Amino acid sequence: MCVDLGRIEHAVEVSASSLYEAVAQPRIFRDNDWIEGIGRGQPPIFVKIKHPKIEHTVRVQDFERRLQTSARSPAEMVLKNRLRDLFAKDR
């Protein structure tokens, strides 16, 4: 879920294997006119995991910054590359 400048909530449901994969997926937060009026990276995206029930908040700018950091293992490098591709594809 993301809240626009008019305080209207926008939500999308996705399936993901990690928090950051969930943040990378929802094109709805980038493909609609209302997102243009929000400062880049400023609105947090709220992630609610259904099972087990968990909630997270991630700022897009923090997500992008994390993707740019060096991977500490080959598995993390593969994950970050996949997330970058997924996030870029939806832009």
Domain count, the chain: 1
pTM of the model: 0.49
CA distances from 34 to 1, 60, 82, 89 (A): 14, 16, 27, 20
- Structural domain of residue 19, as residue ranges? 2-89
pLDDT, residue 5, reads: 72
Q: How confident is the model at residue 52 (pLDDT cuts 50, 70, 90)?
A: confident
Q: Per-residue DSSP letters for the chain? A: -EE-TT--EE------SSHHHHHH--GGGTSSGGGGGS-TT-SEEEEEETTTTEEEEEEHHHHHHHHHSPPSSHHHHHHHHHHHHHHHHT-
